[in-house]
Amino acid sequence: MGNRRPFIAGNWKLNGSRQSVADLASAICTADLPETVDVLLCPTFVHMSDVLAVASNSAVQLGAQNCAIHAHGAFTGEVSVQMLSEYGCEYVLVGHSERRSLFAEDSALVASKCAAVQEAGLTPVLCIGETLEQRDAGQVKAVIDEQLDAVLGTAGVGSFASIIVAYEPVWAIGTGKTASPEQAQEVHALIRAKISALDPEIAQSLRILYGGSVKPDNAATLFAQPDIDGGLIGGAALDAQSFIAICTAAG
Ligand code: 13P
C-alpha cells in the first residue's frame, strides 16, 4: 500500500429499495470504521440525498456512479456533476466497465467525463481494466495504455494529481474470480510506472484501487501489495458487515 492513505469505495450499482439503502448506509456510517481509511459510498442518483442524510454525520463520503459531460441543457435523462455536487457528492465513478460495455462509453467519452468531474471540482474515480479475451490475447498493457492515454491526452498528467484510478479486470467483476494479489499488483505497478514516466511525484501519490470480487477474506492480501491502495467494492458492499470488514482490512 506504500505510504498512501487507503481508500475503500462501495459501488452499489442498481440495487436496493429506498429503505434498504438507507438502512445499509446507516449501518456503515455508524460503524467503527478505521480513521486512517477514506470510505466512499456510491448509491444511485435517487438514493443520494437519503445516503447523505446519514453520511453527513460521519467521515463517510458520497460518490456517484456516473455523470453527464454537460452542465445543463437538452440532454434528457442526464445528471450533471454540478447537480451531484449540490447533493453533497464529492466523487464520481467514470468509465466503469459496465458503462463501457453496456452503455457504449468509449475512452474518449470517459476522458470527457473525467474532465467534467474535475472542472466541477469533484474527484473522478477512473475505472480501467481488460476483459478475459484481452488478457488471454496478451493485451493487458495495450488496453491499460489506451484507457489511460485518452485521459492523459485530454487533461494531461497533471490531472492525475486529483484522480483516483481503479483497476477492475472485467473478468473478476461479480464473478467470484478475484485476480490473484500478484496479478493485480503487476497491473497496478504498470499503471504507476506509466504515470511515473511522465511525473514521478504524481505517480508516487496516485491512489490505485483494485476492484473485482474483493471480499473480507481476500481483502488483506490484496491490500498488502505495494501498489494496491484500496478497493472498489461491488457485491460485498451490499452487506454492511462485509463492507466494514473490508474497510477494517485496509486500516
Ligand atoms: P464485485 O465486487 O461485485 O466484483 O464488483 C466490482 C465492481 O464492479 C465495483 O465497481
Minimum CA distance residue for ligand 1 atom 2:
234
Minimum CA distance residue for ligand 1 atom 5:
234
- Cα 72 to ligand 1 centre (Å): 30
Domain ranges of the chain: 7-250
- Residue-wise pLDDT for 98-121, tens only, equals 999 999 999 999 999 999 999 999
Residues carrying an active site annotation: 96, 168
Does 105 sit in the ligand 1 pocket, CB within 6 Å? Answer: no
Best of 11, 167, 210 to mutate for ligand 1, by most ligand atoms within 8 A of CB?
11
SS3 content of the chain, % helix, strand, coil (to 5): 50, 15, 35
Which ranges of the chain does DSSP label H, i.e. alpha helix? 18-29, 48-55, 81-86, 97-102, 107-119, 132-136, 140-155, 181-196, 200-205, 216-223, 240-250
Q: Does domain 7-250 have CATH number 3.40.190.10?
A: no
- Cα 74 to ligand 1 centre (Å): 32
- Residue-wise pLDDT for 153-205, tens only, equals 999 999 999 999 999 999 998 888 888 999 999 999 999 999 999 999 999 99
The pTM for the full model equals: 0.97
What is the average pLDDT score of the chain? 97
Does 173 sit in the ligand 1 pocket, CB within 6 Å? Answer: yes
- Cα 43 to ligand 1 centre (Å): 13
Q: Cα-flanking dihedrals φ and ψ of residue 206, to 5°?
A: -65, 130
Minimum CA distance residue for ligand 1 atom 7:
234
